[in-house]
Structure 1
Amino acid sequence: MNERVAIRVGNAVAEAAPDLWGLFIEDLNDALDGGLNAERVRNGDFEFAATDRDGFHPLTGWAAEGAVQVLTDLPIHPNNRHYASLTGPAAITNEGWDGMRTVSGERLRLSLFARAHGTPVELAAAIGDGLATARRTVEPGGWRRLVIDLDATATGRGELSLAVPAGAALDIDAVSLRPLGDDGEPLTFRPDLLQALEDLAPSFIRFPGGCLAHGYGLANLYRWKDTVGPRHERVHDRNIWNYHQSRQIGYGEYFELCEAVGATAIPIVAAGVCCQNSPGGQRAVPDSDMDAYIQDVLDLVEYANGGIDTPWGAKRAEHGHPEPYGLRHLGVGNEDVINDDFRDRYARIENALREAHPDITVIGTTGPATSGPDYEAGWAYARERAIAVVDEHGYQSPRWLHQNLDRYGAYDPEGSKVYLGEYAGASSRIRSALAEAAYMIGLERTPGVVRLASYAPLLARVGHSQWTPDLIYFTADEVRLTASYHVQQAFGAERGEQVHAVVLEGARPFSRPVPREGAVRFRSARAAIALTEITVDGNPVPDAVITPGGDDLLLAAIDPEAAEIAFTAVRRDGADGFSLGLGPEDPQTSFRLDFAVWQNKNTAVIRRDDGIDNWESGCVWPGLADGVPVAVRVRLDGPRLQVWVDGERHHDLVRDDRPEQRVVAGALSRSGAGGGVEYVVRLVNAEDTEKPVRIDLPGTPGAVEAELSVLAGAGPDDGALFEASPVRPFRTTAKGENGIDLVLPPWSFTAAVLREASATPR
């Protein structure tokens, strides 16, 4: 019989962090163009280029029939140089992203710039095979903007076709097709995705990055001024995630989005340095350009908050929003190396902000992980400068999350506060969503330290992904909400004003068994690797070759608690490096050593539990070169793992065997509608058995009723990338005296709102 779990909600211990739960929108996974952006034309400005991605060109996304060429003389704007020139009979067609989806009865607005040569030109526009059609005459002369409203007469997918007859000559640029809203105006955002974001009830939205903010080299820094004003005048750029940025969702639309969902804005600007993973590494804005760069940052605050009597406040009004946006936070930097250049550039930016806008809370940065040199240096710098809030990132496995629920309880509450700007539980499975819920309860318990948090990445178009897992998947036809989404929604929708102490009795921590047998396995995705001078526990092993993309090379059996492996590796050809697996098969605990697997630039230790990876340790390394031998030695000694490369120790770590807190509870309170008190109690049961639970409230409230939202009914490993959650939350109620009795289903998350039976629901 399952033991009963007792949860006693104690007195309030702290004010809840009011802005804790928010969103982070970055343009990766086609999150903006092809996603949240309601635009249905791909590359409508003909500005795609090979610098965006190999194979891209100005007609990417278009098919041409007849005499069609791309020209750059006399463009509509210097920032939009390329345009299509058609000599009839000719046509260009655009399928958008995986086909343009239209719905019968839908109204669409086609807009474009056209320039006819010599005589009037009749332009024929059509979507698909008769889904919507229209014709317009373009008079000769300069560039003219055409606006054509189309009525979809059928439902389906098709292509936008623009055609001219024989004898006609027409230039075309800035082609746009957007659905019309109820007010008859073109929509900025795709409605179903916008609704999914609004339903999360975010307190804030972070934008534009992430890595996108500081770019792939200094020329690729995200310059906010390039993203406002008329869309056809904006500066296009390469996307660091290996595609193109149209900037149609720029800073103006970002602030508009914040208003639409009731969130405050948290823009992130580069700290005067580019991404550390750029060619040549992290480089700084030249000193001669820093004053102008700092002024750009100050102008962003003025654009958001300045009166219409200020230069950039007037620009905001010119762009259609005379009222200030009320900016309160500004992030400076993202996962940067804290070197001398960074320290200088960051300090100059922050000093200027403190002087000009002391009411703005500046958010600093640490590295991309929850530990390591960048993390330590980032926090040391934050303490040195007394930075108000520091941005931490951490993508961790469910095992790690369950082991570290009290992580922020060890932080100094008098020091810099934490914005957990990027986090996720490493998969789209139920077990990851529940681990995230447990960890979020831990974040909620420490409002004196953790002030803000946002899951990442937020959006991903199926078939166009660069990073997984993601919170929301979508296609042209549907939005797929993950189990992690339902967890985030429960936290955002039901918030509290006071954090309460919670005593939980009867829940036993989970301890993982230590594996006693395993094997040594090699693999490589892209390189042929010759292995020589191989020994396992002092015994010689025949030479072997790792083939790129082949099956694992099984070398020998080992005891994962006591083993020593040595070998020399030589890359014969191919790219990047190889991996060495140590231990048993899934779902038991094992380790993987990556040698130059990511961009041929480091070694890493990856721990694997329940078939889910967790980054444990990294070391910068020049990588492999064809024909150059590399000597590797690995020692397993109980929980300790050591790795040497060419005699230099790269890794020395101890396996974390701490028990996992799999049954977790947290509680907050808030004022009820009728003046009473409501309690928001969150409960995670990440175990295989149901748990009878008694929740007691403080004092003697008498008769209690509760409304519950329960995510349950699936196994821990149900749920997959790019798919909707296998289960959705269901609602139920409960009643009791001075509390309630519940049964928590296995592998479930419950959000309960409790109040006195006589109280009015909020």
Structure 2
Amino acid sequence: MSDTAPVPLSLTLGEPTGVTLDPDLWGIFLEDINWSLDGGLNAELLRNGDFEFTHADRPGWGPLTAWQHTGEVEIRTEDPVHPHNGTYVRLTGPVTLTNEGFDAIRVEAGARYRFSAFTWRVQGVGEAALAIVDAAGEPLAQATLATPEGGWHEASLDLVAERGGLGRLRVTVPRGLTLELDALSLRPCGSDGEPLTFRQDLVDTLRALEPSFVRFPGGCVAHGLGLGNLYHWKQTVGPREERVPSFNTWGYHQSRQIGYLEYFELCELLGATPMPIVAAGVSCQNLRGRAACIPMEDMPAYVQDILDLVEFANGGPDTRWGARRAELGHPEPFGLRWLGLGNEDEITRDFEVRYAMVAEALASQHPEVTVIGTAGPQPFGPDFERGWEFAREQRVAVVDEHAYRTPRWFHQNLDRYDDYDREGPAVYFGEYAARTNSVRSALAEAAFMITMERNGDIVRLASYAPLLARLGTTQWVPDLIYFDADDVLPSASYHVQRMFSVERGEAVVDVALEGETHVPVPPRPAGNVRLAAPGARVRVDDASIDGAPVAPVEVGESEVELGAIGADGVVELTATRVEGSEGMIVRLGGTGTDDFLQVDLGSWQNKTTVVHSFADGISNDIDGPYAHPGMSTDVPMRVRIALDGPRIRVWVDDELRHDLVEDRRPEQRVVAGCTVRTAEDGTREHVLRLVNATDRPRRATFALPEGGAALRGVATVLAGADPDAGQPFEASPVEPREVAIDLAAGEPWEIPAWSFTVAVLRAG
């Protein structure tokens, strides 16, 4: 048989296993990361329209970030439109003030754009002029801005584009007029003539996923960096000028133009149930000093805020917060059923006490809402173990697990949920991705999703993360959907998510696979010891490999080879940072970018130690991160790393910090799952999912419970690219295609190499 000849594969579809699927299973997770909202889903075209950017958002930012001007522009705070938006500008003509938007403002000929702002005519005569101008300063659209006297006035007008192109908003104040401005906004208008809240092409892309739920606003954004950055929902509803902007956890600015009302409205647009995530009384632990806790004397008020959120979502107009929702234009309740409490938290006693206070109040006053717990940032480790233990103690209904892992990890862990306790909490697999935007990663995710369906009695909910990323402004990769001002670029993982959510079954049936399905993971190969110190300069001396001395070296950004090491061996060295603020990394074994170990000595802002394993050029953190003081300038650090086959041990200054056994189990690369459902005509349909993440096609034959019946149906196939094709910031290298199926009994069907197939089948 040649290397490209199809490999025989037999699939026997059995009877229902007794597992039924939660209709909420496949959803989406929207976090304000990668400029997902401002500059993304938010249809607002102006950046920093309220002049509220500060150095807290990002060093060097301020009230005039994203603005250019000629003439006299004064930043003022004395008499703002509202105390929550305390900064505005005074323009003493002649002045031009120009906003570049997010890179540029895309204008379509004949389209209508709604401008709004607060104005205060301080003195003088004349009127300001508005225009969207091109790079040469020529208008694409223009209008006059009337500015009444006597305090702040809200102005609104439409600009109709005479021609299309890329532009900027320009405000011109003539000589003799002094004008104050705040809360400027420019939005495209929809077919009904009203300004859009959301960018339509992104909404269409999300709607095509047919999500059952939307998790928001985070993630790390929900519990913030410090108590001052906690996401308080009440600060995000009401008129824009009354909302409280804040710095974003991911290093930019949140205008809060998309707040809780808009999140709920987005769920309605998508036909999805809302799943807000709130802090469990503590902030994110990933900051200096670890997590900050809401003082116990302030917890009753915080608990009440969360109860008020549920009332805002579900209460009738006769309730305080239901009436507030109706006042804001939405008299009907939103039907909130899920609420996440905490996110990737360190499971400390402070967390547990505050979590219990919120959960008990919700159970007492809102039994219609199911609370989702949390189990740390990784699918293993101390917080994961304690998080699950605490969830069982508290009788939590659902626990949120996260896993950003390599494709190898996903293929090795397809049995993860097979042995979970069916009497304990269920799982929400709330954040996951196979590390890259490649086809290889997308197929690994598909394989794992098949096993989530197979264990649908345990896995109730799942959502990939992150969802959106604007080109040129990302803080995290991979992402499901990339975009810029003009285009939306779905990834291969996006197509996988859609292929699951669009074709859903109701009950799981047994599938027996016969044929070559596993790929062995060989022992880690011998290689070199390599050192690097990104962000620092480190002197390494008193070093040895297997007892043989190694000459002193100095390490910086570029990798330095120390010497050869086998699958077994011991490396010892003394590392002293000479300058910089970061730590050092040690890479052991393997060649190039494939199959080696990496020990981080001062990872995550020089605050932790971590052990990574690289496979297919992709990194997986396999132990840690564990808190550590990190490297200090001119302070020697003694390091010892011992490799004993799959066992890895790391000592730092004589403290054993890591002791683990690397997972070298085979990868299951050919995976099948099947569910059944009742079609509109009352007949039974099989929804078959099949991953072939290998270089060889499969020639598959099928057996159904009905016996040797023919098969007919339609398959959606994602195939045709190299497994490592697909990069961040690009559209998927492949798109799904539909294939008709009409097979006689026993007739084989060829499954392409590196493919994911979803087939809707009927017998006969």
Which residue does the alignment assign to 1:26? 31
Q: Answer yes or no: is 1:154 the counterpart of 2:163.
A: yes
Give the letter aligned to residue 41 of structure 1. L
C-alpha deviation, 1:701, in angstroms: 8.1
Report the AA paired with residue 618 of structure 2.
I
Q: Shift of residue 195 of structure 1?
A: 0.6
For 2:379, the aligned partner's letter is T
Q: Secondary structure of 1:410's match?
A: coil
Residue 469 in 1 paired to residue 459 in 2?
A: no
Which of 457, 482, 506 aligns to 2:515? It is 506
Distance 2:610 2:179 in 1: 56
For 2:213 and 2:131, the matched residues in 1 are separated by 40
Query: Quick check: 1:220 aligned with 2:226?
Result: no
Number of the residue aligned with 1:760? none
From 706, 725, 729, give the equivalent of 1:699: 706
- State the alpha-carbon separation in 2 of the partners of residues 604 and 265 from structure 1: 36
Indicate yes or no: 2:588 matched with 1:582: yes
Report what 1:599 is aligned to: 605
> How big is the shift at 1:737?
3.7
Out of 173-182 and 688-697, give the one that drifted further: 688-697
Structure 1 residues 498 and 150, CA, compared in 2 at 3 Å: closer, same or farther? Answer: same
Amino acid of the structure 2 residue aligned with 1:575 = S
* Amino acid in structure 2 at the alignment position of 1:257: L
Q: Does 1:555 align with 2:562?
A: yes
How many angstroms does 1:172 deviate by? 0.7
Spell out, residue by residue over 1:471-530, the C-alpha distance to the aligned partner (whole angstroms, 9 max, x if none): 000011100010000000100100011111100111231002224420000011100001
Cα distance, 1:111 vs. partner?
0.9
Instruction: Give the distance between the partners of 1:508 and 1:184, measured in 2 at CA.
Output: 56
Q: How does 1:42-61 map to 2 (within 5 A)?
A: 42-61=47-66
Aligned partners of 1:414, 1:374: CA distance in 2, in Å? 21
Give, in whole Å, the separation in 1 of the partners of 2:7 and 2:689.
19
Query: RMSD in angstroms over aligned alpha carbons?
Result: 1.2
SS at match of 1:693: strand
1:86 equivalent in alignment to 2:91: yes
Aligned to 1:729: 736
Does structure 1 conserve the Cα–Cα contact (< 8 Å) formed by 2:469 and 2:483? yes
What SS does the corresponding residue of 2:340 show, helix, strand or coil? strand
1:669 equivalenced with 2:676 (yes/no): yes
Q: After the TM superposition, which of the residue ranges 12-21 and 463-472 deviates more from structure 2?
A: 12-21
The aligned counterpart of 1:172 is: 181
Equivalent pair of 2:123/2:179 in contact (CA under 8 Å): no
Matched letter for residue 15 of structure 2: N
Q: Distance in 1 between matches of 2:539 and 2:691?
A: 48
Match of 2:12 among 1, 5, 8: 8
Cα distance between partner residues in 1 of 2:639 and 2:422 = 43
| TM-score normalised over the length of structure 1 | 0.98
Q: CA deviation at 1:120?
A: 4.4
Say if 1:151 and 1:647 are closer, same or farther in 2 by CA, change over 3 A: same
Measured after TM superposition, the shift of residue 738 of structure 1 is 5.3
Q: Which runs of 4+ in 1 moved over 4 A?
A: none
> Which of the residues 378, 400, 411 maps onto 1:391?
400
Within 2, Cα distance between the matches of 1:371 and 1:241? 25
User: Equivalent residue of 1:433, what SS?
Assistant: helix
Partner of 1:142: 151
1:113 aligns with 2:122: no
For 1:725, give the aligned amino acid: S
| Secondary structure in structure 1 of the residue aligned to 2:7 | coil
User: Which position in structure 1 is the counterpart of 2:44?
Assistant: 39
Q: Does 1:447 align with 2:447?
A: no
In structure 2, the CA distance between the partners of 1:661 and 1:586, relative to structure 1 (3 Å rule), is farther
Picking from 206, 218, 230, the partner of 2:239 is 230
2:333 is equivalent to residue 324 of structure 1 = yes
> What aligned pairs does 1:339-738 form with structure 2 within 5 A after superposition?
339-547=348-556, 549=557, 551-559=558-566, 561-586=567-592, 588-618=594-624, 619-700=626-707, 702-737=709-744
Q: Distance in 1 between matches of 2:516 and 2:24?
A: 31
Task: Quickly say closer, same or farther: Cα 1:333–1:512, change in 2 above 3 A.
Answer: same
Query: 1:124, 1:277 → 2: CA distance?
Result: 47
For the 8 Å contact 1:704–1:740, the answer to whether it is kept is: no
Displacement of 1:324 in angstroms is: 0.4
Name the structure 1 match of 2:750.
Answer: 743
Single out whichever of 154-163 and 35-44 deviates more from structure 2: 154-163
Counterpart contact for 1:586–1:610, Cα < 8 Å: no
Distance, in Å, in 2 between the alignment partners of 1:286 and 1:28 is: 28
CA displacement at 1:11 relative to structure 2: 0.7
Q: Output the CA distance in 2 between the equivalents of 1:714 and 1:153.
A: 44
Q: Which digits, 9 at most, give the CA deviation of each residue in 1:664-711, with x for residues without a partner?
A: 101011110100011110110000011111122221484431111111
* 2:748 counterpart SS class: strand
Give the letter aligned to residue 442 of structure 1: T
Identify the range of structure 1 (122-131 vs 450-459) with the bigger mean alpha-carbon deviation. 122-131
- Work out whether residues 214 and 270 of structure 1, in 8 Å CA contact, stay in contact via their aligned partners in 2: yes
Q: Deviations over 1:629-671 (max 9, x none)?
A: 1100001111111110011111111121111110010101111
Task: Tell me how far 1:29 sits from its aligned partner.
Answer: 0.3
Moved more, 698-707 or 183-192: 698-707
* SS of residue in 2 equivalent to 1:408: coil
1:267-282 correspondence to structure 2 within 5 Å: 267-282=276-291
Aligned with 1:721: secondary structure? coil
Separation in 2, partners of 1:395, 1:374: 16
Structure 2: how far apart are the matches of 1:513 and 1:542?
32
**1:306 aligned residue:** 315
2:721 and 2:573 mapped to 1: Cα distance? 44
Kept in 2: contact 1:121–1:170 (CA 8 A): no
Q: Distance in 2 between matches of 1:194 and 1:582?
A: 46
2:271 equivalent to 1:262: yes
Q: In the alignment, which residue of structure 2 is the partner of 1:755? A: 762
Give the Cα–Cα distance (whole angstroms) in 2 for the partners of residues 437 and 646 of structure 1. 43
Q: 1:245 aligns to what?
A: 254
Identity of aligned residues (%): 53
Q: CA deviation digits over 1:714-751, x for unaligned, max 9?
A: 00111101111111111111112457632111111111
- Residues 1:132 and 2:153 aligned together: no
Compute the TM-score of the two structures, normalised by the length of structure 2. Answer: 0.97
* Alpha-carbon distance between aligned partners in 1 of 2:65 and 2:169, rounded to the nearest angstrom: 14
Query: How far is 1:280 from its partner?
Result: 1.5
1:403-457 alpha-carbon deviations (Å, 9 max, x no partner):
0011011210110010011000000111000000000001111011110000000
- Higher mean C-alpha deviation, range 653-662 or range 738-747: 738-747
1:701 and 1:231 map into 2 onto residues whose CA distance is: 65
2: CA distance, partners of 1:258 / 1:373: 35
Amino acid at match of 2:697: E
Paired residue type of 1:464:
T
> Does the C-alpha gap of structure 1 residues 701 and 4 become closer, same or farther in structure 2, counting only changes over 3 Å?
closer
Q: Quick one: distance in 1 between partners of 2:154 and 2:97?
A: 18
User: Deviation at 1:459?
Assistant: 0.4
Single out whichever of 702-711 and 397-406 deviates more from structure 2: 702-711
Cα 1:11–1:739, aligned 2, differ >3 Å: closer, same or farther? Answer: farther
- In the aligned structure 2, how far is the partner of 1:238 from the partner of 1:463? 19
| CA displacement, residues 606-647 of structure 1 (integer Å, 9 cap, x when unaligned) | 100000111101122111111111100001111111110011
Q: Work out the CA distance in 2 between the residues paired with 1:115 and 1:294.
A: 40
Counterpart of 1:4 in 2: which secondary structure?
strand
SS in 2 for 1:692: strand
The amino acid of 1:60's aligned partner reads T
**Deviation, structure 1 residue 755:** 2.0
SS at match of 2:606: coil
